[in-house]
Structure 1
Amino acid sequence: MTPFRFLHTSDLHLGKRFGQMPEEARADLQQARQQTIATLARMAQEQGVGHVLIAGDMFDTETPSERVQRQALAAMGAATDLHWWMIPGNHDSAAAETLWAGMESHAADNTHLLMQPEPVEMTPGVHLLPAPCRHRFAGQDLTQWMDDYETPAGDLRIGLAHGGVLDFGSDEADGEVISPNRASSARLDYLALGDWHGAFTLNDRSRYSGTPEADRFKHAGRGQCLLVELTGAGQLPDVTTLETGAYHWQEQILQLTPASDVVAQLQALLPTRRAEWHHHLMRLKAEGWVTAPQRLALDEAVAQVAPEFCHFALEKSGLRSEHQVSDLDLIATNGALRAAAEDLMGAAEDARQAQGERDIASAALNRLFAYAQESSSSAEGEA
């Protein structure tokens, strides 16, 4: 038979608000997410495939705005040479009757909403077995029915489902539970899974595509989809990863010591192409021990590069300070300010105190050092 090729994607989460992000980054990420349909259509056309399978969570909630719904449907309808096949996920389950009724009333002929666990023939000899999420938490394996469905010998069988598997887990607590052996027991040539936002190969015939536009540091890199080719019933699928995301998410560990060149180490972790920093989200976790001058240098270096990123976060909860007498001299050599600095240094190094109290004293001393350096720089500038 002629090989059957399609794109497998999931977890578009259109309408996601990104409420934990600053306003400007939030707007950028929302806009990129709304463009994923057009990106997938372009990818499908470039690869010469006529079908896109969406394994649940097209929308982030069961109540996406009318604007989000209609723009998504318009983008799918505009790709007249493609067929879109989608199931409700746990975020936009079939229980959201108003959502899916509205989608049905405005969907183009090439957009197929699979609301029941009933097989459909995508094209002659290719059967799609969908397992739509009926409720947000169904508490059962919705793919089990696939085992008992018979198809003509030699026809292809493709499963489409959303949820975690028994030995892997889910990106959503209490999500659906799918047997890791479903592809085998249901004689599927391929099982297209959704829910996990990063790509994951469960076995030779079962894969999570990941989201086409990354949305968290947990799944680093850019979003992607999968190009799947089935050459015949019983043959292993040929799967190729296609990068689709506009934004790259990255978390890095910056391990420091009092001997570190903190600026050089920071720069070594930055993406190589500076012109693309605006499409990067970076979370930098600083760990180890540093002196007050090093800490100040790190803060200043981050402040220099952060505005060029879509989002840049520096986490210093794992970073401790090593205080030296020479640091105190940079605050004040005598007087009340020096006495206050010495008291804070003593408290920060007092092993009899709880670690939390020592951390507070250390943070206060670091702040005092930074203020002293700012005041010194201002005075020099005025002079």
Structure 2
Amino acid sequence: MSFEFIHSSDLHLGRRFSNIPQPPDGNIRGRLMEARHAAISRLAKVARERDAKHILLAGDTFDTATPSASVVQQALTAMADCTHVCWWIIPGNHDNLRDAEPLWEKVLRDAPQNVRLVTDNAPIELSAGVQLLPCPVAFRSSGRDPTAELASMPTSDGDLRIGLAHAGVVDFTDSGGHIPPDRDRSAGLDYLALGDWHGRIAVSPRTHYSGSPEQDRFKHGKRGVCLAVSIVAPGAEPKIDEIEIGEFLWAKAELPLLSETNVVEALEGILPESDRRNVLMRVKATGWSSLAQQAELRHASVRLGPDFGFMDLNFDDLGTTYDEADIDEIDKAGALRLAANRLKDDAESETLSTDERSVSAGALSRLYAYIKEAE
């Protein structure tokens, strides 16, 4: 006996990505939303390649309890087109049973034959000798362990027991429930497919978070994956293959600077060289630099930024060394020089707060950059 399936979670279809600034000449938010929808076909492609007949979605298939009608219908249509696979969906905390009742009523009414919404805590036979033990999320923050009933879910001797749940094993989420790290053992599970954490985590040989197939934050440092899981017999340790399917990479990097650093070369040296269109890049400059170096950095980021899906260069942790020659380049006399001197004094003040000094330093850096751009 051998059973193979695909484990994924947290598609968050319909997420709008309002936290990402929309450039005036681009549509990164729209591209990110489309990549989430396209994850459906990429998951189905992996299932076909692995000859897996089932895809388990461990919650938060939709980003909210009230996704638009087009988001829901297009998702169901995309799943229906994948006739070689059956999709098993449980509600998560974002699309929980209570808040998303109209959503799930529509899915139950309109879903194609190969899309199965699971709303009850009861075993379901996936194949001969293979039982799915689902734990749908009833409330967004119930405060209870959603897997508590797994141990009492009956199956026949010799059946594979595959749990499907959505919550945190440790308190790193807002899902409201926390799963004991030994739940696979206490419930006699051959595998526990988890959702809620957007990064890939192996809790134990039998308990895994697949993470989101498309990342949505500068946290995990890799493209999204799904898990191809193969279990050869009850009690056997599952074989887990991570398969990268994410389109976008959310990357962050630190740019340490010194007064003698060639800042443009340093910046270019930490940026990925290929596929930049599908990279969201966040760079944090640290250390010390002059006004001239900061102007060079800003100019370089404006030049390089359009290569990327999104690029942000942050100066909050970068200290400024002030050279009288740099101040002279703003203005040697007159109103601009008075403004520059005042900003420099405030930036170096020992009586102002850290935030106030930072604001003044940032304003002086931008003033210098504007003057250089106007030349």
The offset of 1:146, in angstroms, is 1.3
% of aligned pairs identical? 43
Task: Write out aligned runs for 1:339-358 (5 A).
Answer: 339-358=338-357
The offset of 1:335, in angstroms, is 5.2
Counterpart CA distance in 2 for 1:356 and 1:103 is 50
The offset of 1:216, in angstroms, is 1.0
Counterpart CA distance in 2 for 1:137 and 1:360 is 39
What corresponds to 2:76 in structure 1? 73
What corresponds to 1:180 in structure 2? 181
Change (3 A) 1:343 1:55: closer
Counterpart CA distance in 2 for 1:174 and 1:107 is 26
Change (3 A) 1:106 1:270: same
Letter in 1 for 2:357: R
Q: What are structure 2's unaligned runs of at least 5 residues? A: none
Q: What whole-Å deviation, never above 9, does each CA across 1:115-158 have from its counterpart, x for those lacking one? A: 10000010000011000001112221121111123322222110
Q: Please tell me whether the aligned partners of residues 5 and 228 of structure 2 are also in contact (alpha carbons under 8 angstroms).
A: yes
What corresponds to 2:315 in structure 1? 316
What corresponds to 1:163 in structure 2? 167
53-62 vs 23-32, greater mean Cα deviation: 23-32
Task: Write out aligned runs for 1:96-111 (5 A).
Answer: 96-111=100-115
The offset of 1:181, in angstroms, is 1.2
Counterpart CA distance in 2 for 1:343 and 1:109 is 70
Letter in 1 for 2:172: S
10-19 vs 135-144, greater mean Cα deviation: 135-144
The offset of 1:337, in angstroms, is 4.3
Q: What secondary structure does 2:113 align onto? A: coil
Q: Please tell me whether the aligned partners of residues 253 and 284 of structure 2 are also in contact (alpha carbons under 8 angstroms).
A: yes
What corresponds to 2:31 in structure 1? 28
What corresponds to 1:90 in structure 2? 93
TM-score, with length taken from structure 2: 0.94
325-334 vs 80-89, greater mean Cα deviation: 325-334
Q: What whole-Å deviation, never above 9, does each CA across 1:209-261 have from its counterpart, x for those lacking one? A: 00011111122221111010101111111101011111111011111121211
Verify: 1:144 aligned to 2:144, yes or no. Answer: no
Aligned pair count reads 370
Q: What secondary structure does 2:287 align onto? A: strand
What corresponds to 2:365 in structure 1? 366
The offset of 1:339, in angstroms, is 4.9
Task: Write out aligned runs for 1:91-240 (5 A).
Answer: 91-95=94-98, 96-165=100-169, 168-171=170-173, 173-240=174-241
TM-score, with length taken from structure 1: 0.92
Counterpart CA distance in 2 for 1:339 and 1:65 is 54
What corresponds to 2:8 in structure 1? 9
Change (3 A) 1:204 1:335: same
Counterpart CA distance in 2 for 1:239 and 1:91 is 27
The offset of 1:351, in angstroms, is 3.0
What corresponds to 2:245 in structure 1? 244
Letter in 2 for 1:125: G
37-46 vs 320-329, greater mean Cα deviation: 320-329
Q: Please tell me whether the aligned partners of residues 91 and 138 of structure 2 are also in contact (alpha carbons under 8 angstroms).
A: yes
What corresponds to 1:380 in structure 2? none
Q: What secondary structure does 1:202 align onto? A: strand
What corresponds to 1:381 in structure 2? none
Counterpart CA distance in 2 for 1:247 and 1:339 is 46
Counterpart CA distance in 2 for 1:149 and 1:44 is 28
Q: Please tell me whether the aligned partners of residues 170 and 195 of structure 1 are also in contact (alpha carbons under 8 angstroms).
A: no
Counterpart CA distance in 1 for 2:66 and 2:360 is 48
Counterpart CA distance in 2 for 1:81 and 1:357 is 61
Q: Please tell me whether the aligned partners of residues 93 and 175 of structure 2 are also in contact (alpha carbons under 8 angstroms).
A: no
Counterpart CA distance in 2 for 1:43 and 1:9 is 11
Letter in 2 for 1:199: R
Letter in 2 for 1:364: A
Q: Please tell me whether the aligned partners of residues 167 and 175 of structure 2 are also in contact (alpha carbons under 8 angstroms).
A: no
Q: What secondary structure does 1:6 align onto? A: strand
Counterpart CA distance in 2 for 1:285 and 1:19 is 21
Q: Please tell me whether the aligned partners of residues 61 and 91 of structure 2 are also in contact (alpha carbons under 8 angstroms).
A: yes
Q: What are structure 1's unaligned runs of at least 5 residues? A: 378-383
What corresponds to 1:325 in structure 2? 324
Counterpart CA distance in 2 for 1:367 and 1:28 is 31
Change (3 A) 1:170 1:261: same
Query: What's the Cα RMSD here?
Result: 1.6
Q: What whole-Å deviation, never above 9, does each CA across 1:269-298 have from its counterpart, x for those lacking one? A: 11121xx11111011111121100000000
Verify: 1:57 aligned to 2:60, yes or no. Answer: yes
Q: Please tell me whether the aligned partners of residues 163 and 170 of structure 1 are also in contact (alpha carbons under 8 angstroms).
A: no
The offset of 1:340, in angstroms, is 4.5
